[in-house]
Structure 1
């Protein structure tokens, strides 16, 4: 059975680099990001070209049930997740609390806090 590392927030920066490192150590890396299918395809292709194992998954972590569904799919198709990296930022911008609408604050909370709980 293969060890699986799921990275939620596998962009071109920290998340992608962490994925490459886990792949070097023999993990299958399930790279998850909200958008940019082409960038995701390039990232897991680079890992596979270097001899690693990877898959790419588009995920909107704010959608109800999306995280749970993706975890179920990864574990059914690839194997149990041994390591989960939650690398999502709130992505609500740099603004003063007084200038932050409730809807924007709640989205940041759902992504930055509730999402971690859902993964666990």
Structure 2
């Protein structure tokens, strides 16, 4: 049976590009989404058109019961999970720390920290040799903002990705002897609709001329790195990160 991959937030941007690439490489694909059913179903349909098996499953990954249902659906319809991409996340409108309120912070933490923790826990229960599994790989989609801090834009988002980086390293060490590899990618300025959530759809075009490579990246470039970290080509790599930021 083919490898099985679950991609959270798989209906758009980096998640969608990863789903399409995984399907082309023979994975059975689960495209998770929280609210945009149309986009997720379109991605799953494109994967199926390419000859692979795919389904779209609605679940808010910050809620434990919905995460359990999501993983149970993958078990029943696709088979044993071998790869998880923790891609779902959010950002809020650009601003300074003194403008942030408790509700905003709660939304950021839930999507960017709680969700990856809950999903990784379900994956470990299935993949770990400690629990009778045969191993697997997890890739967490972080951000270059975790190192740069995103001052005057969204340092709460940057902080949440810093937490994800710490989880990536810690979990990698925790399950290294149990057949699971855990790595991260840190995209920088990538041409996706994500920047519109922060209130500046053209953010990449504004900053790109100042980057060492003088351009923003693409979702497909990030997907290639994610799939490398999931593949046997990176079989001796865990607790590591790939920075995909054009030299920034």
Superposition TM-score, scaled by structure 2 size: 0.46
Quote the residue 1:47 is aligned against. Answer: 47
Residues 1:81 and 2:81 aligned together: yes
* Unpaired runs of at least 5, structure 1: none
Q: What are the residue-to-residue correspondences of 1:1-120 with 2, within 5 Å?
A: 1-120=1-120
C-alpha separation in 2, matches of 1:94 and 1:109: 16
Q: In 2, distance between residues paired with 1:74 and 1:50?
A: 20
Alpha-carbon offset, residue 107 of structure 1: 1.6
Contact 1:62 1:107 in 2 (8 A): no
Displacement of 1:11: 2.6
- 1:98 and 1:88 map into 2 onto residues whose CA distance is 26
Q: Distance in 2 between matches of 1:5 and 1:93?
A: 31
> What TM-score do the two structures reach when normalised by structure 1?
0.90
Q: CA RMSD in A?
A: 1.5
After TM superposition, the runs of 4+ consecutive aligned structure 1 residues lying more than 6 A away are none
Q: Larger Rg: 1 or 2?
A: 2
Q: Is the 8 A contact 2:58 2:70 kept in 1?
A: no
Identify the structure with the greater strand proportion: 1
Instruction: Output the CA distance in 1 between the equivalents of 2:55 and 2:42.
Output: 11
Confirm or deny: 8 A CA contact 2:8 2:85 kept in the other structure: yes
C-alpha distance in 1, partners of 2:76/2:55?
14
- The corresponding residue for 2:131 is none
SS at match of 2:43: helix
Higher relative contact order (CA 8 A, sep 6+): 1
Instruction: Tell me which moved more, 23-32 or 73-82.
Output: 73-82
**Cα offset for 1:103?**
1.7
Q: Give the deviation of 1:3 after TM superposition.
A: 1.3
1:71 deviates by 0.8
Deviation at 1:66, TM superposition (A): 1.1
Which 5+ residue runs of structure 2 have no aligned equivalent? 121-248
Q: Is the 8 A contact 1:5 1:84 kept in 2?
A: yes
Given that 2:61 and 2:119 are in contact with CA atoms closer than 8 Å, whether structure 1 keeps it comes out as no
Q: C-alpha offsets along residues 92-117 of structure 1, whole Å, 9 cap, x if unaligned?
A: 33222211111210121111011111
